[in-house]
Amino acid sequence: MKTEKLCVVGPGLIWHSVHKPNLKRLADVFEVRGFVSRSEKSRTEAAREFSGSKAYGSLEEALGDPEIDGVLVLTPIAMNAPIASAALRAGKDVYLEKPAAMSLSQCAMLETAAAESAQAVYVLENQAYDGKIAAVSGAIKDGRVGTVVGFEAVNHFFFGGERNQTGAYAETTWRMNPEFPLGIIFDGGIHELAGFQTLFGSPKRVSATGAVLRPGFGEFDLVRMRMSYAGGVDGFFSHGAACAGGDNHFTIRGTEATIKVEGDTLTMIGADGAAEELPFPAGKSHDRMWNAIAADRTGDAASADDTALADIYTLEQALVDVRTLLAAERSIHLHRDETP
């Protein structure tokens, strides 16, 4: 089997912590052959870890190399769509960190590039492959929840500052001084939106409020969204980057049962009040994501972790997530419901 020869654009924190170990593990499917970075030190040091790989002096040089089959785009959000579009126009497959775009014009740019290209696009949205999401999806499809009527999700934490709970991510310059809209929710909260979309489809209407609890951390550091879906499902999502957590959860409510997702625990509470813990497929979401992408590349569905990974999270879905957040931003400023 021919391996997919990859060039990594932006070998930063997420490369070292997540994607590098997965690509090393899947070396029979993917072969890392090059690196692009504005930092000569970064690209040179990254290339030393992979025998035969190159440290390209520019993106154009990498895209012009016929030996490269695909480009792994791990850049700041503002650069994701332009670089992915350029790679598609150059005839390269694209493996794209999320969010895939940061504006409606970038969404359109990327859609056009993908439509005009025969190359594959994989959006690296790990939440869509999370085992807990797979378990909830199974319970809904099996009818154990009954008719879903709504959900609530809360993700509150401290980003940056003395009480930082996000590790080195809060030290990233482009996150501390964001060019992207809304604030931290656009970078981190998009994961939850991917989970919601996997379970409930695309929202039809969005309303939102935003607050600034600490100046200097993006446009807003507390965003609360209400999303309406087909079939009468309403969802509420509160994302706070300067709030105490302690009760972060994702609760799905149906006519026959309620499912609560809290950390790594799934609990189903029946109409009679009886509670049972639900099992879910093992494995880190990023590992499961890369297993699914590798299975899609090779056509070997049996190598995926479970049947829940049969469907790849598409570029179309990823851009719905972006448009949903942009609709939330418009709603905050215009004080009205918006359509993604």
**What residue segments make up the domains of the chain, in order of their start?**
4-124, 139-282+315-334
Least confident interval from 25-39, 102-116, 176-190, 299-313: 299-313
- pLDDT above 50 (res 307): no
d(CA 17, CA 112): 32
Coil, helix or strand at residue 236: strand
- Average of pLDDT values for 132-140? 96
- The neighbouring-strand residues paired with 70 are 6, 93
Percentage of the chain lying above the pLDDT 70 cut: 92
Domain 4-124, CATH class in plain words: alpha beta
CA angle 42, 35, 22 (to 5 degrees): 95
Q: What is the mean pLDDT of residues 118-128?
A: 97
- 284 residue type, one letter: K
pLDDT of 2 > 70? The answer is yes
What is the pLDDT at residue 1? 72
Task: Please name the amino acid found at residue 126.
Answer: N
Report the alpha-carbon distance of residue 26 to residue 30 in Å, rounded.
6
Other Cβ atoms within 10 Å of 23 Cβ, number: 22
* Topology adopted by domain 139-282+315-334: Dihydrodipicolinate Reductase; domain 2 (3.30.360)
Q: What are residue 82's phi and psi, to 5 degrees?
A: -60, -40
Crossing angle for the helix pair 131-141 and 190-200, to the nearest 10 degrees: 20
pTM of the model: 0.94
Distance from C-alpha of 219 to C-alpha of 184, rounded to nearest angstrom: 9
Residue closest to 172 by CA, chosen among 329, 17, 307, 328: 17
Encode pLDDT of 50-73 as tens digits.
Answer: 999 999 999 999 999 999 999 999
The confidence band for 139, taking pLDDT boundaries of 50, 70 and 90, is very high
